[in-house]
Amino acid sequence: MPTELVHLDVADGVATITLDSEHNRNALSRQLVTELADRLTAAGEHPDAKVVVLRSAHRVFCSGADLSEAASGGMVEGAQALVAMQRQIATLPQPVVVVLAGPVRAGGLGLVGAADIVLAAESVSFALTEVRLALAPAVISLSLLPRLTDRAAADLFLTGRTFDAAEAARLGLVTRAVPDDSLAGELAAVLTDLSAGYPQGFRETKKLLNHDLVARIDALGGGVAEQSAALFGSDEARAAMLAFLERKRG
């Protein structure tokens, strides 16, 4: 059996989901995405879980699409799965808190955009690098565009530049950026605040907060998944991805 890449632990009312695919920096491989969806389902149905925390076991939170898989084609199912995952996070009955202690790139930002609360260490960096691989942030635009102003989205999507946690907080992409050594304490404080809530209150409040996001995913998800798959399958993108992988190996 393949090694488990995503772990679930429930204790003290908190379901902690941990990404643990260090060999490819938590890239969104088929296995990781499938396991993450399964763990989210299990957390959502767990009778003792009032809150869900999503984090990484290692330095990098998520490096985006698994380019070794993407370069070989067949990204239709992968794009559809990422659409479904953003919807799953937005509609989970519990608050979903994402904790970022390390870099987030490209597709990984879809997990950030769909979450309810995002805490980031100040050293964390972000980048939407799709244009540098002849791609577009099509699928993750579902959850990112509602978080960003039009000007901010144009800047980050078109330049592919790296930006820090403080800027991410100013732009509304993350809830708070805190000193690295304060991240654990900030999470504990948020969990203490959330512990006073009731499941019905969380469930119904999330419906209010995420109504427009879920409607957007339902209306546009199929189209952006097709766009994403077509881009990944294009000659230009395949050449760019293979060149990128070659540079990494070199």
pLDDT tens string 88-98:
999 999 999 99
Q: How far apart are CA 243 and CA 250, in angstroms?
A: 10
Candidates 95, 116, 13, 107; CA nearest to 60 is 107
Q: How far apart are CA 231 and CA 126, in angstroms?
A: 22
Predicted pLDDT of residue 158: 98
Instruction: Kindly indicate the confidence band of residue 145, based on its pLDDT and cuts at 50, 70 and 90.
Output: very high
DSSP category for residue 28: B
Beta strand 14-19 with 51-56 is parallel
Domain ranges of the chain: 6-180
Mean pLDDT for the stretch of residues 136-150: 98
CB contact at 8 A, 11 and 52 = no
Beta strand 96-100 with 51-56 is parallel
Mean pLDDT for the stretch of residues 220-236: 95
Residue at 209: amino acid letter: L
The answer, yes or no, to whether residue 67 has pLDDT greater than 80, is yes
Predicted pLDDT of residue 70: 78
Q: How far apart are CA 247 and CA 237, in angstroms?
A: 15
CATH topology of domain 6-180: 2-enoyl-CoA Hydratase; Chain A, domain 1 (3.90.226)
pLDDT tens string 150-180:
999 999 999 999 999 999 999 999 999 999 9
